[in-house]
A and B are shown apart, each in its own frame.
Chain A
Amino acid sequence: MAFVDFSAREIHCKIVYYGPGLCGKTKNLQFLHERTSPSRRGQLISLATPNERTLFFDFLPLDVGSLRGFQTRLHLYTVPGQVFYDAARRAILRGVDGIVFVADSQVARLAANVESIRNLEKNLREQGYEIAEIPYVLQLNKRDLSSAMPVAELSRRLAIKGEPTLEATAATGAGVFETLKAIARLVLLDLRKRRTPSGFTRATAAS
């Protein structure tokens, strides 16, 4: 649910990184946090178990620049990937503007990727969204591993609607900014397309 503040000229959007356990969602946010100037990011909050598995979510607010005088701020969230945390995943999708699906390229994780996409579709529907309509990007992560499936084959198995598909190795940061840029673009185009921005809008004109 984007928040457009016409008075302060700010746009806030919520982007959720989704995917199966250990696919690299948190790694994406950690890399963005490391490589962004402190003046343009807030603190990275990780609600994790003692062994560093995401328990609830990670959160990172990022300023990505000015869009026609509107300061644009992205609120990035991850969900916990492990299957039994489904209630937490559903909760985090509340008010989402765009989704990055982080797929684990390893052949052994293909079934987990497919199950996670189905789970995303179901959870989005429960929150009143359709996966066909929401801004959505597919990131093929862990491309550096020798067990990674060929890109063409993996895309064929996972792509759902001709979405932008990006290769990445979040552990080194390859493809991480490109992925963020791709989803930000779709979210902002979606915002422009709407007759009125969804979510909270603060206007300057008095009614």
Chain B
Amino acid sequence: MSPADLVLYEEDFRRLQQILRRLRQESGASVVLLVDKGGQRIASVGDVEALDMTALASLTAGNVAATDGLARILGEQEFSVLLHEGEKENIHVSIVARRVILVVIFGDRSSLGLVRLRVRQAGAELERAFAEITERMEREPVLHSGFEPLLAEITDEDIDRLFTE
């Protein structure tokens, strides 16, 4: 398993969602989401129907990747916080546990100071959650073999049928 791999169980998801939900409430944000550095959305809370979350996740990851490139030019490991200020809406982006991106979208109901404070608290909780998940994966790798039969069920014919439905 490569270092990038991560297996999340339902209870992990519930825990992540809970942290995001609390962050949203306490910071007055409209949307909070977690994205992996490759651009996949992991979890989100808030008015998610109103926005194109797939595009948001992909663009955020691209943004972070570009900023990582800038950091390297300056000899920095990463810039851990990015901020985009609009007239009505703002986006606060931070890196958690070096592997996931925490995105907070907020408007007039909140302030940058409040968002920063709450993100710092939630970030620490998320770091703990990811550390425990990683630790569990190292301790109990056997649990993951449960996925094997599910994927092994997929046949060549199933793949051929895609695109034709």
Contacts and interface: CB of A to CB of B under 8 A. Distances in A.
Nearest to B146: A205
Interface of B: 1-2, 4-11, 13, 36-40, 42, 52, 54-55, 58-59, 61-62, 65-66, 68-69, 136, 140, 143-148, 150-154, 156, 158-165
Contact of A200 (B6, B59, B65, B147): B6
Q: Is the interface of B mostly helix, strand, loop or mixed?
A: helix
A88 B66 contact: yes
A200 B146 CA distance: 15
Given A4-B147, A184-B159, A205-B146, A94 B61 contact: yes
B64 to A, nearest CB: 9
A65 B37 contact: no
Given A64-B163, A184-B162, A199-B36, 7 more contacts: A91-B65, A91-B69, A94-B61, A181-B163, A184-B163, A188-B162, A205-B146
A90 B154 CA distance: 32
A64 B59 contact: no
A203 B6 contact: no
Nearest to B143: A207
A42 B41 CA distance: 14
7 contacts: A66-B165, A75-B58, A87-B69, A188-B162, A203-B9, A204-B10, A205-B10
A198 B158 contact: no
B145 A59 contact: no
Interface of A: 1, 3-4, 6-7, 12, 14, 42-43, 45, 47, 56-57, 59, 61, 64-68, 72, 75, 77, 87-88, 90-92, 94-96, 128, 177, 180-181, 184-185, 188-189, 191-192, 194-207
Nearest to A204: B10
Given A1-B4, A75-B39, A206-B11, A197 B55 contact: no
A1 B38 contact: yes
Contacts of B8: 200-203
Output the residue of A96, A181, A196 with the most chain B CB within 10 A: A196
A68 B165 CA distance: 13
B42 A200 contact: yes
A65 B9 contact: no
Contact of A203 (B2, B10, B152, B164): B10
A75 B140 CA distance: 31
A1 B40 contact: yes
Contacts of A206: 9-11
Contact of A202 (B10, B36, B140, B159): B10
B39 A14 contact: yes
Given A43-B52, A65-B163, A96-B38, A201 B147 contact: yes
